[in-house]
Homo-oligomer: A and B are copies of this chain.
Amino acid sequence: MDIFIGLVHFPVVNRRGEKICSAITNLDIHDIARTATTYGAKGFFIITPVEEQQELAKRVSSHWIEGIGGQFNPDRKRAFDIVQIVPDLATAENSVRRISGRTPVRLATSARDIPGCISWEIFEKRVYKNEFECILLLFGTASGLHQECLDYCDGVICPITAGTGYNHLSVRSAVAIILDRISQFRRQ
């Protein structure tokens, strides 16, 4: 199964549920690139329509790929090799098709319960049965993916919970947990 990660900065919601475009967080790029590379993801898309933000992400990325960052830390260079900065979901999806040769199943993630979300039990079975050849996993920054983004997807995976009534994970932690779970499902 080819796995691609999309970190969405638009359209997402703020704490009041309003549609916003969030700013790029440097550490999101580093942490998620490292996690995605550890778990063999084929691509990590940073999705933002704001050109200045795209430029910022490209500067960070090229520091590690072509600049002195990569000489100092070749492991970080390898992680940044899978990073792509794209303006929207459609461009990310087109890039997945070029890299994988497949149309991805678009799966959104959410910290909130979304009606009809795919339970972890069902998702585990489907991964184990190898039902997905290629997935594009979308993660929302700020307070999560906007409804438009959920509507765009083929499904939403249910929240990560652990029975404490508290599930306020950072997006960096959520990506790590979800990629690890998928890796465990495939191994069983």
Contact = CB atoms under 8 A, between A and B. Distances in A.
Contacts of A183: 162
Contacts of A177: 176-177, 180
Copies in the complex: 2
Contacts of A88: none
Interface residues of A, number: 34
A158 B164 CA distance: 27
B172 A170 contact: yes
Contacts of A27: 27, 170
A163 to B, nearest CB: 7
Given A162-B39, A177-B176, A76 B168 contact: yes
25 contacts: A34-B168, A34-B169, A34-B170, A34-B173, A35-B173, A37-B166, A38-B164, A38-B166, A39-B162, A40-B163, A40-B164, A75-B166, A75-B168, A76-B168, A79-B166, A162-B179, A172-B172, A172-B173, A172-B176, A173-B173, A173-B176, A174-B176, A177-B180, A180-B180, A184-B184
